[in-house]
Amino acid sequence: MRLANPLSFLNVTLSPEDVAEPVSNEQLLLLARQSLDKIVATGAFETAADPALYLYRLRSESHEQTGLVADIPVADYVSGAVRIHEQVRERRAQLLGEHIFQLGISSSPIALAYRNTTDLARLIEHGIAQTPTLSISPDFGIEQTIWRITDPATVSQFQSRLKGQTLYIIDGHHRAAASLAAYERAPSEQSSRLFGVMFPHDSLRLRGFNRYIKQCTAGDLQRLTDAIGKLGGTSGLYQSPVCGETSVYMAKQWWSVPLRGTGFDSQKLFDQILAPCFKLTAADAPDIVNVPASDDVLDLQSSVERAGSAGFVLAPLSIEQFMDAADQQILLPPKSTYFVPKAQSGVFLRYLRS
């Protein structure tokens, strides 16, 4: 997609694996800057003369959700009014912070949840009944529709009903940390705010991440076999795990394995299986490959068989579980939740400097 369409925003959100030859971070940022300038020069973006709120609807074949795009004070993130539930990889946050600072833009909104109320639901219903500002035909199966809200009374109603609401990051923990770093590096009115989209909690669909080990030894697999036995695992056909257990695929065989104790399954999986069996010291170790979960586990099976390793499936967290984790200041391993459909990059472009 990146090479086929030079005006794709994927050329701006470059990562090292998107480039054929190894490049430095400085070279990567230069390529991203050149791509951004090229896209902006085409007139692809319309400049908003005045501040506004935006309603942003994401619709797939089986689901839709509408959120409010707005600025959120960085101070709320620091104070804990914006709450997190996943650990952040420091190096990734640093790279994203450098990207934001050097390009001077935010283009991927941080997705957050708020506890829905009748008043907020009515405001959204009224807003999407108006003529859309922009409609984007399905891309990767997602239809995007945007409404610009400029009426002072409506803006004020949204602001007053969201005032005091706790916000929960559901996608974008690293972007939030990177935005804070960019603000601390160059404080300004624009950089003092996070670029976010806030969704009502009861409209969201969360999935989990499947995991497999990139490479392992015969000793690792023997320790895994022993651990499955000690935990009381049983073999058979694949069954979707429920809360408190994991499904393990190894040597072309599925196992249902209970996870002991209290707490969240992603942490229990790491503590009881991944760390002791594969000698891992961190839940974000490079030997762990995280794959967005789907109803079909054939891809996971194929990856495991090619690697000669083991794969793991967990039940996804519920919305209430991830909110409870954030409220209790419990940080889960990276890639504990997966939110679909995701807000897309390059639909909005927010400059951090005048």
Residue 272 to residues 238, 239, 354: CA-CA distances in angstroms? 21, 20, 51
86 bridge partner residues:
332
H or E element in which residue 57 lies: strand 53-59
| pTM confidence score | 0.88
Q: Are strands 110-114 and 142-149 parallel, antiparallel or unpaired?
A: unpaired
- Write the class of the CATH domain 49-206+342-351: alpha beta
CATH of domain 209-315: 3.30.1760
Specify which residues 292 forms β-bridges with.
Answer: 209
Which DSSP category does 318 fall into? P
As a whole number of angstroms, the distance between CA 198 and CA 123 comes to: 14
**Tens digit of pLDDT at every position of the chain (354 positions):** 455 677 888 889 877 767 767 778 888 889 899 999 999 999 989 988 888 999 999 998 889 999 999 999 999 999 999 999 988 888 888 888 888 888 989 899 999 999 999 999 999 999 999 999 999 987 678 899 999 999 999 999 999 999 999 999 999 999 999 999 888 888 888 889 999 999 999 999 988 889 999 999 999 999 999 999 999 999 999 999 999 999 999 999 999 999 999 889 999 999 999 999 999 988 778 899 998 887 789 999 999 999 999 999 999 988 999 899 999 999 888 888 888 888 889 999 998 876
Boundaries of every domain in the chain: 1-44, 49-206+342-351, 209-315
